[in-house]
Amino acid sequence: MARHSGGRGWYGKLVGAALGVTLVATGASVWTAQAGAAGGSSPKATGPAASGGDVKPVAATIAHASQEGKRGVNLTIDDGPDPVWTPQVLDVLREYGVKATFCMVGTQAQAHPDLVKKVVAAGHRLCDHSVSHDTAMDKNSEAYQKRQILDAERMITKASGGVRPMYYRAPGGAFTPYSRKLAASRGMRPLGWNVDTKDFERPGTDVIVATVERELSNGPTLLFHDAGGDRTQTVAALRRLLPRLKEQGHTFGFPVR
């Protein structure tokens, strides 16, 4: 899984100046975490929602495999939800009967709860993609990482009407041992990818399709985006790839947990 930087500039402009206000206004102080020492003790959440009877810890290793086995494909959609592009992606997925995992940015989920609920209603899974998509968050303190992960978890859960994210994907792959343990302690399996379509760079629909076909042998988890700019090429590529991969005997499913 190579480092991925797509989208950082867009979210930096959108969120950077207001991030402190957003975190305070949405109650960021609800959560605290036990900072790992050099050896790294497991983070521990405290506060009103910490008991979380339905929260079961999962493995802290980064997942890439599919629950569908060797012919499985995990379609993952990052950076939304977006009022223009998420509905179009949902339409394509519905047309071909494909389920996907939506890695949502907390501020986007908070701004578009109707779309989060539509994603859930369609049978897709949710993934925590941090509050503000800071691809350098692994360079920041554990306290900062904690706020980014747990505040986004709460934002997404509230926007969905109570459905919690099942995975955590670090922006740009900026995982740390601490962030993986923290997410896993909240029942969110750290989620990587095997094929970066680079659709964020808008290389052309043909290039996106060719990238998937060339690199799918690397592993089953595909990275696409439904926010951060014009996603016309992404939608077009999905419309070509989904039936083609099905014809080749692939089954779309979810990443292992």
Closest CA to 62 of 156, 194, 200: 194
Q: Which residue has the tokens 């709460």?
A: 154
Choose the catalytic residue: 112, 133, 225, 250: 225
Torsion (CA) 17, 20, 22, 26 in degrees, nearest 10: 180
Pairing verdict, β 189-190 and 72-78? unpaired
Q: How far is CA 194 from CA 79, 96, 100, 224, 232, in A?
A: 17, 22, 15, 11, 23
Can 225 be counted among the known catalytic residues? yes
Choose the catalytic residue: 78, 82, 128, 199: 78
Can 199 be counted among the known catalytic residues? no
Q: Read out DSSP for 67-113?
A: TT-TTEEEEEEES---TTHHHHHHHHHHHHT---EEEE-HHHHHH-H
Residues carrying an active site annotation: 78, 225
